[in-house]
A and B are shown apart, each in its own frame.
Chain A
Amino acid sequence: MSLPFAQTPSIANAEEAPTGGLVRTNKLALVCAKSGLDESYPVLIMANAARMTGIEVSIFFTFYGLDVITKNKVDKLWVNMVGNPSTPMPPFMMGLPGMEVMATSMMKKKMSELDLPPPREMVEMLAASGCKLYGCELAMRMFDREDEDLLPEVDSVITATDFFELAEGGQIIFV
């Protein structure tokens, strides 16, 4: 028995889906290289949305992005003010003490108002949804981190070449 209306194109019926001539992405590989709250949240949210649309997703955490999957760092992600071109604050105020704390607490408040879970819970949710989480082997050595320092949800620590092999056939997006 088939339904009479157009289904959301998914992995299962990607071929016959009416996508208006577009080739639909069904595999996504995100690279998270920054640890700012305003820089890593989008990666997690986009990954979750992609999973909910039936897209296969994997995330590669490298350089400061590694903080997002590090146990004692994930709850202390900050909104980095200095050098951040997206903040509405005038540059001479950005470096003042307390500014980053204020901006961070404001963003966290807004996020919880919007019913968005904090980063740690987002990572748990992503792992539960089937999103693959990888740490960067080079960054691990750079920051002197061991496997135990990472969140239990992380699938494995791999190199960039491993990641590209895993991401083959998918869209790779550097955030």
Chain B
Amino acid sequence: MATETTQILARLEEISAQVEAVDKRVRFTEELVEEMIPIARLVVSSATTRLGDWEERGVFDMIAVMQDAAGRILDNYTKDDAEHLADAIVGILSTVRNLTQPGVLQIANQATDVLRQADGVKPVGMFGAMRKASSDKEIQRGLGVMLEIMRAVGRTQGGSAEGVSVLPPALEATAAAPAVAKAVTPTPKAAAPAAPVAAAPEIIQWEGHDFDANGFLIDPNTWTPELAGKIANGLGITLTEEHMHVLEWVRDDYASSGASPNVRRVATGSGAGTQNMYKLFPPTPGKNCAMIAGVPKPVGCV
């Protein structure tokens, strides 16, 4: 029995110690609250006045609008767009710098001045505009500038953006790679299909002479009778006295008139006759004759 009593007593002592600790903590809290209340009052009253002030100034409205705008931006732009923007930022900055050059700003200033005074301007019809454009030097210069701008716009729209890039040349190379990778419509030049024979004005070297892609001698002055024989052989023709007579006539006519004679002119002028022309230079008398004579391809269809 005695042991039980001592146990209970010990327990009570323990509990009383705990109660004391709790009491102490409560007292601390009370003190803290007492100390905090004036400060809190001060802060809250200050904050409410500040917030009221802000509300009066429309800050909340603006924040609400900004949140809305941010939401819209997030709706309309994807992560790719943001990356693209990062790529383009150098270009954007460069454009802004160009736009803020003093000369450009002056033009903008003057334009706004004119717009401010636009009430006094009389309406101008079609013919009035033409008359002004034909007499007023300043309008003419302005039109010239506008046309240049239009050309630049057209060039970018057409896909060949050469010369109108907004990037400084040094940055061009770095920006070019992502731009090409992300472009949808313009295909890289390397991927274009092989050009047909007549497309490129390429020069072909043969027997020490320059020929165009169609086989015509580029410089008629480098022609020799030996070369004529070689070309004729290539075309399956063996030159005779008769051929040489026609060729000499063609070369003389080219030298005097500055243009390649057509078949009819050669046939009547050299005395060979149409029928002989087809016999001498088969199967295309105009083309083959000019080719062997070392003059350009004749124009015309007779």
* A residues whose Cβ falls under 8 Å from a Cβ of B: 1-8, 10-12, 18, 20, 45, 48-49, 51-54, 115-117, 122, 124-125, 128-130
B127 vs chain A, min Cβ distance (A): 28
Count how many pairs of residues, one from A and one from B, have CB atoms less than 8 Å apart in the complex.
Answer: 76
Distance of A36 Cα from B214 Cα, bound (Å)? 38
| Known interface pairs A52-B301, A115-B300, A128-B274; A8-B284 also in contact (CB < 8 Å) | yes
A-B contact pairs, 9 of them (CB 8 A): A3-B231, A6-B214, A6-B215, A8-B287, A52-B263, A52-B285, A115-B300, A115-B302, A129-B278
Inter-subunit contact A3/B235 (CB<8 Å): yes
Residues of chain A lying within 8 A (CB to CB) of residue B300: 115
CA distance A133 to B231 in the complex (A): 34
Chain B positions within 8 Å of A130 at CB level: 275, 278
Please state if B215 and A48 are interface contacts (CB–CB under 8 Å): no
B264 within 8 A of A: yes
Check B144 for interface membership: any CB of A closer than 8 A. no
A10 and B283 contact, CB distance less than 8 A: yes
| A interface, over-half SS | loop
CA distance A12 to B234 in the complex (A): 13
Interface residues of B toward A: which range? 20 to 34
Contact for A116 among B197, B267, B273, B302, CB less than 8 A? B302
Docked pose: A25 CA to B45 CA in angstroms: 99
Given contacts A115-B300, A117-B302, contact A3 B284 (CB under 8 A): no
In the complex formed, the residue of A with least CB distance to B275 is: A128
Top 4 closest pairs, chain A to chain B, by CB: A54-B283, A128-B274, A3-B234, A128-B275
Chain A residues within 8 Å of B235, by CB:
3, 7
> Contact: A129 with B284, CB < 8 Å?
no
Cβ-defined contact, A125 with B284, below 8 A: no
B230 — nearest CB in chain A belongs to which residue?
A: A1
Pick the contact of B302 from A8, A18, A125 — CB < 8 Å? A125
Contact B302 A12, beta carbon cutoff 8 Å: no
A1, B234: Cβ atoms closer than 8 Å: yes
Contacts from B to A (Cβ < 8 Å): 196-197, 204, 206, 211, 213-215, 230-231, 233-236, 262-265, 267, 273-275, 277-278, 282-287, 300-302
Out of B196, B213, B233, B262, name the residue touching A1 (CB < 8 Å).
B233
CA distance A12 to B265 in the complex (A): 26
> Chain B: which residue is nearest A130 at the CB level?
B278
Q: How far is the CB of A32 from chain B (nearest CB, A)?
A: 17
Instruction: Give every chain A residue within 8 A of B197 (Cβ-Cβ).
Output: 6, 18
Min CB distance B137 to A, Å, is: 40
Chain B residue contacts of A2, Cβ below 8 A: 234
The CA of A11 and the CA of B197, in the complex, are separated in Å by 19
Of B206, B235, B302, the most chain A CB neighbours within 10 A belong to B302
On chain A, the residues within 8 Å of B230 by CB distance are 1
A5 to B216, CA, bound (A): 9
What is the CB-to-nearest-CB distance from B194 to chain A, in angstroms, rounded to a whole number? Answer: 11
Chain A residues with Cβ below 8 Å from B265 are 115
| Interchain CB contact under 8 A, A54 and B284 | yes
Q: In the complex, are the beta carbons of B264 and A4 less than 8 A apart?
A: no
B298 nearest CB across to chain A (Å)? 9
Interchain CA distance A124-B275 in the complex, whole Å: 10
* B301 touches which of A6, A49, A129 (Cβ 8 Å): A49
12 A-B pairs besides A6-B214, A117-B264 with CB distance below 8 A are A1-B230, A2-B234, A5-B206, A5-B211, A6-B213, A8-B284, A10-B283, A18-B196, A45-B302, A115-B300, A125-B302, A129-B275
